[in-house]
Amino acid sequence: MDDIAVLIPCYNESKTIEKVITDFKNALPDAVIYVYDNNSSDGTDEIARKAGAVVRYEHMQGKGNVIRRMFREIDARCYIMTDGDDTYPAEYAPSMVKKVLERNVDMVVGDRLSSTYFTENKRPFHNFGNSLVRGSINVLFKNDIKDIMTGYRAFSYEFVKTFPVLSKGFEIETEMSIHAVDKNMFIENEIIEYRDRPDGSVSKLNTYSDGFKVLMTIAKLYRTYKPLGFFGIVSLVLAALSVGFFIPIFVDYARTGVVEKIPTLIACGFTMIAALQSVFSGLILHTMLQKNRQDFEKYLNEVNDKKREKLSK
């Protein structure tokens, strides 16, 4: 088991990968640096190998797929995840590692949004999207993570080995944040300086399609992790529709003694039944979620036992 592992997922980062590896070697001389190449066509893997990194491959396209492979294959007491585009300064890594190893933090979030991100990033919709995602998750999940979508993080062994990676692409950071909050893991923010990509380095993010995927991921994860809240909202909407269409029918009936819109009345009844079913679905799933959290705590103890065994060898 490594003490510190630096994880760098890469797709066509030949312009910057050598500098990133060199910077992290200088900042964390005892760390093992892993570069996972995701079907690059510009020689990123060869440059990384010559720079002294351990190079491995993930052929399923997408950052989420790369992170899944990394988390499965690498054992370490502390993990640093960064990008290969030289936007995250390596000098913050020792402080992030210290929080994991000495304070038992499960996830350290490299917080760009509290420092230079909005001035360095030249894409205004990215700025708006980051603020929207941060605000949405902090309200829906009641947490204080300062930067939800940052790719610069430090993790404990326990987080890495218990995190179920479901996302295939750039939604992975959002999924990490929500998982840590839901499982009551120890989270801290580390304010970092962000710098925009150097000339010649091109972002792989699509502002609109990837932004839509992130928002859909938030909705799906809210349904999964907060079923009572999600289905409660659905129930309120259905109940409001039912009552809204029923009131004119009732007013007409009170005035004339005749129900003229029988089909609408039947639809209102079925809509109210659906609203009640939604409430009870949320209650059942909420109970199942509580049981899942209890099981997770037991699983976390098993992972701790495995960690101690590996450290003792």
- Cβ-in-10-Å burial (0-12, 13-18, 19+) of 29 comes to exposed
CA-nearest of 207, 209, 164, 155 to 185 is 155
How does 175-195 read in b/e, with b if 16+ C-beta sit within 10 Å? bbbbbbbbbebbbbbbbbebb
According to the model, what pLDDT value does residue 93 have? 96
Beta carbons within 10 angstroms of residue 109's beta carbon: 25
Q: What is the pLDDT of residues 160-178, one digit of tens each?
A: 999 998 888 778 888 899 8
**Tokens representing residue 167 in the block:** 């996302």
Q: What is the pLDDT of residues 179-230, one digit of tens each?
A: 999 899 999 999 998 877 666 555 555 656 766 777 788 888 889 889 999 9
What distance in Å separates the CA atoms of residue 41 and residue 7, rounded to the nearest whole number? 20
The reply to whether the predicted model has a pTM over 0.75 is yes
**Tokens representing residue 221 in the block:** 């994860």
Q: What is the pLDDT of residues 87-137, one digit of tens each?
A: 999 999 999 999 999 999 999 999 988 876 655 555 555 566 667 777 787
Say which residues have a Cβ less than 8 Å from residue 52's Cβ, sequence separation at least 6.
21, 25, 33
In the chain, the amino acid numbered 249 is: I
Q: What is the pLDDT of residues 2-45, one digit of tens each?
A: 899 999 999 999 999 999 999 999 999 999 999 999 999 999 99
